[in-house]
Structure formats: C-alpha cells, structure tokens
Homo-oligomer: A and B are copies of this chain.
Amino acid sequence: MTYCLGLLLKDGLVMIADTRTNAGVDNVSTFKKLHLHETPGERVMAIASAGNLSVTQTMLAILGEGMTNPDTGEVETLAHTPTMFRSAQLIARALKKAYDDLSPGLFKAMVPAGVTLLFGGQIRGGAMSLYQIYEAGNFIECGPDAPFLQVGETKYGKPILDWAMRYDVDLMEALKIGLVSMESTMRSNLAVGMPLDLIVARRQGLKFELNHRIEPDDAYFRELSDTWTASMNAAHQAIRTPPYGNAAPGA
C-alpha cells in the first residue's frame, strides 16, 4: 500500500508521499515514490505513484528514454514537453505501455498490476496543474472546488482534508494539514510508513521551494502529532452537550 497526496492551491502545489513498499507484512522495504524533474526557471514537475512497483519503475524508465509521439513522430521526454497537459499525456502513454506490457504476466501470477499517479507542476508560460493519471492512459485534473487529489490508501486521511483544506489556505498551513492527513493514515495502515517525501512549489516560482524527506525519528513530526492530538481533545469539549432525550442533565 501507499498514500500520496497532492494539493493544488491558490499559492501553489504541495505533494507528499510515503515510502513503504510491501509484498506481505513479512516483506517490507523503502522505495522513493515521489519523483522530481526540475529545470529552475523553466519547469518544475513531480510524480507520485501508488500501486505495483515494477510497473511504476518500468514507466519511469520508459519516460527517461523518451516516447515517440504518434502524432508528430518526435521522441518526447519531460524535459521538453511544451505544456503540463502534453506532459500528462506523455506520462499516461508511458504508464499505459508499462501496464499493457506487464499486466498479463502479473495477472497469471495473481499479482495486482494497477498503478495510479499524481502529477503536478508548472512549465514557464503555462498554468500550474495537478493530475491523477490511471493505468488505462486516462487522467483527471484537480480543480479549486476540491483542491486535493489522493492515491493509494485514501480514506483515513480524507476527513481532515474535508474539514480544513480550501483553495485559499496558505501553503505552509496546507503542508501541516497534509502531514496530519499522512499521520492519521500511518496510524491505521501499517503498509503506509516513514520516511515521508514532500515538495512545495509556489506558482510562478518554477523551482521546488521545499524538497524534503522526513525521517522516522523526526522531532517536528512528533510535535505535530502531539499538538494535533491535544487540539482534538479540546475540539470535542468545545462542542455543546447533546440536548437529546434525558441525556444532558440541566440541558
């Protein structure tokens, strides 16, 4: 399992991914799931992946070698795509090719072959974008009404996003909310685990303002978890006692 989160906000982009890979609880390892491409001042891109690791790595290798665009006949890589939309199309083609090549063998072995990606970034002259890309080669784009996309183990970390994530939240506040979303997921699913990789990119910045790995013993992350838990206990006490039936003496 995996949990990756992408936030596309008024001020920019936040992406966070865990690093745990497992084939059964007795075969656990750490693999980077947040893959970056940056040409400062020109383009900044991040791909986060959830799903079969071999399909993901094959897709990344295909992307690295470049793919021939069936319309133009040219070999395309993420270093030269003209727009984020064309970049998403390229990644989707690479993912579909890796999936189509490998999934028949994986199905025979009863191994899940699916991969879902988050792809965010900006190219000079274009808008900042965030996409969710599926192994069928299709994708959807994040919009301001629900300014986040999730892949992998998405449910545990969603309520905090529903409660607190809005398009106009400050980038550093959004990062904190995103880390709480990761924390609540790691508590409940052992297949999502530290270290965490994260990036922050401001609109028009065309570089990673922040590119960081949070290690398992990180003091700030523990502080964030403790502060949050204390706030949760204050939060339910701030709610009035239910006025139902004979439940609330004096209410």
Q: Which residues of A does B touch, CB under 8 Å?
A: 155-160, 162-164, 172-173, 175-177, 179-180, 184, 187-188, 198, 200, 209-212, 214, 220, 223-224, 227-229, 231-248
B247 touches A212 (CB 8 A): yes
Q: What would 10 A/B residue contacts be, using CB atoms closer than 8 Å?
A: A156-B159, A164-B229, A164-B236, A173-B236, A209-B247, A211-B245, A212-B245, A214-B244, A220-B243, A228-B239
A155-B188, A209-B246 as given contacts; A235 in contact with B232, CB under 8 Å: yes
B210 touches A173 (CB 8 A): no
For A158, list chain B residues within 8 Å (CB): 156, 188
Q: Which residue of B lies closest to A188 (CB)?
A: B158
A162 touches B187 (CB 8 A): yes
Nearest CB of chain B from residue A220's CB, rounded to whole Å:
6
A231-B235, A245-B211 as given contacts; A159 in contact with B184, CB under 8 Å: yes
Classify the secondary structure of A's interface with B: helix
B247 touches A210 (CB 8 A): yes
B159 touches A245 (CB 8 A): no
A212 touches B175 (CB 8 A): no
A240-B223, A247-B209 as given contacts; A232 in contact with B160, CB under 8 Å: yes
For A237, list chain B residues within 8 Å (CB): 173
Nearest CB of chain B from residue A100's CB, rounded to whole Å:
28
Report the bound CA distance from A172 to B247 in whole Å.
Answer: 8
